[in-house]
Structure 1
Amino acid sequence: MFNTLKKYAIPLILSHICIILIFALPKPDLWMAYDRRAISDGELWRFLTPNFVHLGVWHTTLNLAGLWFTMLLFINLLKNIDWLAWFAILFVGNIVGLHLWVPSLDHYVGMSGALYGLIAAAAIAEFRLGVKLSGLLLLIVGLKIFMPQLVGVETSYNEWLGGNVIEEAHIIGFIQGLILGLIWPKSRLSEPKSLKARSSMKVEGTK
C-alpha cells in the first residue's frame, strides 16, 4: 500500500490540489490564473499556478482524467524525482510559451497544455527505448491536437467546458514535450518489463 502511494505520489498530490482549489476557494483564479497584465506587474508565480486552477468541475475532471491516464500508462518510465522535474519544466514552460508566443492571450487556466507535453515526452521517450506502440500513440495525439486547426472547435463544447479552448497551449505543450522526451538522458529512463524480458531472452539465446 505504501509503495503504491509513493509511486503515485505526484498525481495524487496534484489531484488533491486541483480539487481543493475548486471547492475551498470561491475565486482562486483571481490570484492564480495566467494574467498578462499581472505578470507584467511582477506576479511571476502566475507562470506556474494556472496549471492548478480550472474553468469549473468539468474542466477539472477532464484534466485530472488526462493526468491519470498518462501516469497509469507511463508511471514506470521514470523515477519520482524525474517525474517531478518533467512536471515543473512542462508546467512553467507551457505558460511561458503562451506568454511569449500568443501575445493576444490575456487569461488562461488549466493544465491541458502541459499534459499534452507530458504524454508527448513520455511517448517519444519510450519510442527511443524501442516501444513502437508509443510511436503510434504519439501520432494519434498529434493528429488530435492539430486537427482543430483545420476544422475548428465546436461552440457547444466550449459552452459545456465553461470557456474557450486555447489550442495554442496544446500545440506549445506538445512541441515542448517532444523536445523534452528527445533530450532527456536515456540512462534515466526505465525500459518496460516486456523489453527487458525480450533482451534477457536474446542474451540467453546467444550463450
Structure 2
Amino acid sequence: METDSLLAFRRSAITNGEYWRLFTGNLLHTNQWHLLMNLAGLWVLLLLFKPHFKVLSFTFIFSALCLLQGLGLYLFYPGLLGYVGLSGMLHGLFTYGAIRDISTGLKSGYLLLLGVIIKVGYEQIFGASVQVTEMIGARVATEAHLVGVITGILSVGLFSLFANLYPKANN
C-alpha cells in the first residue's frame, strides 16, 4: 500500500477515525520539488529563529503546529478533501518565531510578522503563484497558510502558558 494512501490528510478517512492523518498529512509531499522547497523553508526558519529553538522545544512546537494545522483545516475548511505538505506548518513556525523575536525585543520581528500577514492576505485574495502550482504539480492550499499563521499566533500563547506552568521543562 502506498504511503500517501495511509498518511495523507483525507477528510473522509479522518471522519472515519483515522485521526493520525491530521498530523501526518503535513509530512507528505506531491513530488520532490514540493519536498525540497519545504525542507529549504524549514532550514531557513531554523537558522532565522535558532535562538528560540532547543531540540525538545522545537520538537514540541513542530508537532503541535502539525496537529493544529490538520485540526484547523478539518474544522474550518470542510470543502478541503485532501492536503499534503509542510507549508502551512512552516507559516505557523515563521509566525511563532516572529512573535518570539518581538517578545525578546527584536524590532525586526514586527517586519517579519507584518510580512507574513501581508503575504497570506494576498494569497487569500489573489491565490498562489502559478509557478509554484506548476512546480508542485497541485493546487497550493493557501488556506493552509492562513491556518498556519493563526496557529502560530495561538501557539505562542499556549507555549507561554506551558512555560509558566512548567518552568523546568523550558530549560
Shorter-chain TM-score tier:
0.7 to 0.9
What is the TM-score with the length of structure 2 in the denominator?
Answer: 0.88
Show the counterpart of 2:111: 136
Q: 2:36 is aligned with what amino acid?
A: T
Is 2:61 the counterpart of 1:86?
yes
Structure 1 position 160, deviation (Å): 2.2
Equivalent residue of 2:20, what SS? Answer: helix
- What are the Cα deviations for residues 175-203 of structure 1, in whole angstroms up to 9, with x where unaligned? 11012224533995xxxxxxxxxxxxxxx
Structure 1 position 132, deviation (Å): 0.5
| Distance in 2 separating the partners of 1:89 and 1:97 | 12
| Distance in 2 separating the partners of 1:95 and 1:147 | 22
Stretches of structure 1 lacking an aligned partner (at least 5 in a row): 1-25, 189-207
Q: 2:5 is aligned with what amino acid?
A: L
- Give aligned-pair identity as a percent: 37
Equivalent residue of 1:103, what SS? Answer: coil
Is 2:21 the counterpart of 1:36?
no
Task: Compare 150-159 and 105-114 and name the one that shifted more.
Answer: 150-159
Distance 1:133 1:187, change over 3 A: farther
Stretches of structure 2 lacking an aligned partner (at least 5 in a row): 164-171
Q: 2:47 is aligned with what amino acid?
A: L
Q: 2:63 is aligned with what amino acid?
A: A
What is the TM-score with the length of structure 1 in the denominator?
Answer: 0.73
Q: Considering only aligned residues, what root-mean-square deviation do their CA atoms show, in Å?
A: 1.9
Is 2:84 the counterpart of 1:109?
yes
Structure 1 position 148, deviation (Å): 1.7
Structure 2 counterparts to residues 44-123 of structure 1, below 5 A? 44-123=19-98
Contact 2:8 / 2:28 at 8 angstroms: preserved in 1? yes
Equivalent residue of 2:49, what SS? Answer: helix
Structure 1 position 27, deviation (Å): 3.6
Task: Choose 1 or 2 for highest CA Rg.
Answer: 1
- What are the Cα deviations for residues 34-68 of structure 1, in whole angstroms up to 9, with x where unaligned? 01111122111111111111010110011101100
Q: 1:163 is aligned with what amino acid?
A: A
Show the counterpart of 1:184: 159
| Distance in 2 separating the partners of 1:186 and 1:131 | 21
Equivalenced residue count is 163
Show the counterpart of 1:17: none
| Distance in 1 separating the partners of 2:46 and 2:131 | 29
| Distance in 2 separating the partners of 1:39 and 1:186 | 29
Structure 1 position 156, deviation (Å): 4.5
- What are the Cα deviations for residues 50-97 of structure 1, in whole angstroms up to 9, with x where unaligned? 111101011001110110010011122132211111111100000110
